[in-house]
Amino acid sequence: MERTYRLRLSLDAKYVTIVSDATALLRLGFPDSRVGRVSADGGATIVLRVYHSHLACLFPQHGPGKKHHRSIALEGWQQERVRAAPWAFLRGCIRSDGCVFVNRTGRYSYLSYDFKNRSKDILDLFEETCQAVG
Q: Splitting the chain (134 residues) into consecutive groups of 10 residues, what average pLDDT does each group show? A: 85 94 95 96 96 88 81 92 96 90 94 93 96 96
pLDDT of residue 51: 96
Query: Under a CB-based contact definition with an 8 Å cutoff, are residues 23 and 15 in contact?
Result: no
Chain-centre distance of CA 79, in angstroms? 15
64-92: pLDDT as tens digits: 888 788 888 999 999 999 999 999 999 99
pLDDT of residue 124: 96
Q: What amino acid is encoded at 113 in this protein?
A: Y
Rounded to whole angstroms, what are the CA distances from 113 to 26, 74, 101, 110? 25, 23, 6, 10
pLDDT of residue 50: 97
